[in-house]
Amino acid sequence: MNSFLYNLEYYNLDKFEFTNGKVIEDAKVEYLTGGTPEYDEDGKITNAIVYCHGSGGNYGSIRKLQDLTYPGGPFDRTKFFFISISGLGSPESCSPSTTELFYEFPSYLVEDMVNFQKQFLEEKFNITHLKGVMGNSMGGFVALTWGVMYPDAMDFIITMVSSYKTAGHNYILSKVANEIITSDPNFGVEGYHESLSRTLRLATQVTYSYGYSKEKYRSMNNYELDVAVDDFGDQGLFGDIYDVQFQNKALLEYNIEDQLDKIKADVLIIAINQDQYFPPELDGIPLSKLIKNSQLVIFDSELGHVGTNELIKIEDDLKQFLSKF
């Protein structure tokens, strides 16, 4: 990862209250910072960009920006201060696995993910206004919800391969994954059973099967496809079944379609033509019509949903959008 990123750090909130009233004390936050902070006359950081990762990700997902942080680049590390947070419900931040509450962890919503970040930013950095919030996939849910809940809290929002609601095939994928998980007779039983790892592996294979484009999958022979499916499943071995199940539950509840008019920030919507999770015609284009102060950029990537690893393709568009800030 680029040298502009500093060491990984941890912080603990004295307590965090969920929207359902449940409280977690000593709530852990995993985060990474980088770039160059600028301060106003009151000593507050004025140029912070918060990065929100996708499902199954963590603070390290900010590596998608690494080729664009050079001086003079869109995400110029001499002009912006980056904070990448492992979100609520993700391993190593406050989550079912990290707290060891597992199935007794409080149910949460995307709104809770936002409040978790907001409380952390205020307590740790005394930041009350952000230069921007950006997010990839599920992180886009978080970024847009930031804009809906706290419309005066940022100057811009960037959402990448994301949407304004969980619907259609995305709803089905999350629903089926949770059905697989909760069908394991050892799920929710005291103690951690070996079968849960096998079950999580299967659920991960289902949800990750839309990761690449249809074209990329068709270009692979059956052996390569077998290897890819095995690799998808192996990703699940790095996670925790309760973290995944609780996160899926939160995503199933996500729908801010009728609240998008609350957003005041300038919004850049990035979509990929070959994205199977969030096809532009179903998500990016309708989203751009629902947000009055938005700009839409669509590009091609055989990588499909994970094509945001190729943001260099839209370097000029990013530079033009961010030059205003």
Residues involved in catalysis: 275
The CA-based angle 256-260-265, given to 5 degrees, is 130
120-141 as b/e: b if 16+ CB within 10 A? bbeebbebeebbbbbbbbbbbb
CA distances from 172 to 17, 158, 196, 213, 246 (A): 30, 26, 21, 19, 16
**How far is it, in rounded angstroms, from Cα 221 to Cα 25?**
51
**How far is it, in rounded angstroms, from Cα 221 to Cα 227?**
10
Alpha helices in the chain (DSSP H): 96-99, 110-120, 138-149, 168-183, 194-208, 214-219, 222-236, 241-252, 284-290, 315-322
DSSP state letters, 254-293? -B-GGGGGG--SEEEEEEETT-SSS-TTTTHHHHHHH-TT
The number of beta carbons lying within 10 Å of the beta carbon of residue 1 is 11
DSSP character at residue 185: T
The number of beta carbons lying within 10 Å of the beta carbon of residue 53 is 23
**48 in Cβ contact with 127 (< 8 Å):** yes
